[in-house]
Amino acid sequence: MERLLVLVRHGQSEWNLKNLFTGWKDPDLTEQGVAEARAAGAKLRDMKLQFDMAYTSALTRAQHTLQLILAELGQEGLETVRDQALNERDYGDITGMNKDEAREKFGEEQVHIWRRSFDVPPPGGESLKMTAERVLPYYRAEILPRVLEGKRIIVAAHGNSLRSLIMELENLTPEQILKRELGTGAPVVYRLNEDGQVVSVEDLAD
Ligand SMILES: O=C(O)[C@H](O)COP(=O)(O)O
């Protein structure tokens, strides 16, 4: 039985382009983001992958990315579940702030801690640990059982919601996940065994 799980971060958003902390804000894709999403779909098509179900967040940039990928695959209208459990990490009070200006104001090191530490949340926002505490229960209850019953699943979501899931799938330590960056529009293709453990991983980033 095929147990396929593909994770893909949305293409470049308007706020990625402006270098703003985005979190739960809802900008759409840029032209480049649209192109990245189409390219992700083309890569999956070249691998002859097809899906039985899709999951995405409650945010436009992820939903739009999924829609463009499915169009490339000729799978428009695929059964899709949208849930805010898969939303980006909430950046709290620094949402909307320019990332370079934040470094000037709070210092390079502090901003790096907010962005890449495991358990230090930005003020009023979520750490990666807190993000994992909503992503993983959702994954275990909704997504994993479907993969294990043989449904081929694609998840279009966000840098940090996916990093928290990848940490679990790849058994990474907090130190290892800090260094794991996800490119916009770069699918990661997992095959799982009957216990839900990863037997192969293919990162399609160029
Ligand atoms: O929410 C954001 O600003 C980005 O999508 C991810 O931000 P990061 O690179 O700081 O994790």
* Minimum-distance ligand 1 atom for the alpha carbon of 25: 1
Six-digit token string for 171: 């058994």
Q: Please state, as a whole number, how many other Cβ atoms lie within 10 Å of the Cβ of residue 109.
A: 9
CATH 3.30.450.20 fits 4-17+28-87+127-203, yes or no: no
Tens-digit pLDDT profile for residues 50-62: 999 999 999 999 9
Is residue 12 in contact with ligand 1, taking CB distance under 6 Å?
no
Distance 18 CA to ligand 1 centre (A): 12
pLDDT at 120 (0 to 100): 96
Helix-helix angle 60-72:31-46, to 10 degrees:
40
pTM value? 0.97
Measured from the CB, is residue 160 less than 6 Å from ligand 1?
A: yes
* Residue range 136-193, pLDDT digits in tens: 999 999 999 999 999 999 999 999 999 999 999 999 999 999 888 899 999 999 999 9
Residue 79 exposure: Cα atoms within 13 Å on the Cβ side: 7
* Atom nearest to 163 CA in ligand 1: 11
Is residue 148 within 8 A of residue 4, CB to CB? The reply is: no
- Percent of all residues in the chain with a pLDDT value above 90, rounded to a whole number: 95
DSSP structural state of residue 76:
T
Q: Distance of CA 106 to CAs 99, 101, 142, 201, Å?
A: 10, 9, 39, 37
Q: Which residues have a Cβ under 8 Å from the Cβ of 68 and sit 6 or more positions away?
A: 11, 34, 37, 38, 41
Check if 10 is active-site.
Answer: yes
- Write down the catalytic residue from 36, 64, 72, 88: 88
pLDDT for 206 equals 72
Q: What is the pLDDT of residue 54?
A: 98
pLDDT band for position 13 (50/70/90)? very high
CA distance 110 to 112: 5
Task: Name every residue whose Cβ is closer than 8 Å to that of residue 197 and which is 6 or more positions away in sequence.
Answer: none
Per domain, the residue ranges of the chain are 4-17+28-87+127-203
Q: What is the pLDDT of residues 114-139, one digit of tens each?
A: 999 999 999 999 999 999 999 999 99
Q: Ligand 1, atom 10: nearest CA belongs to which residue? A: 115
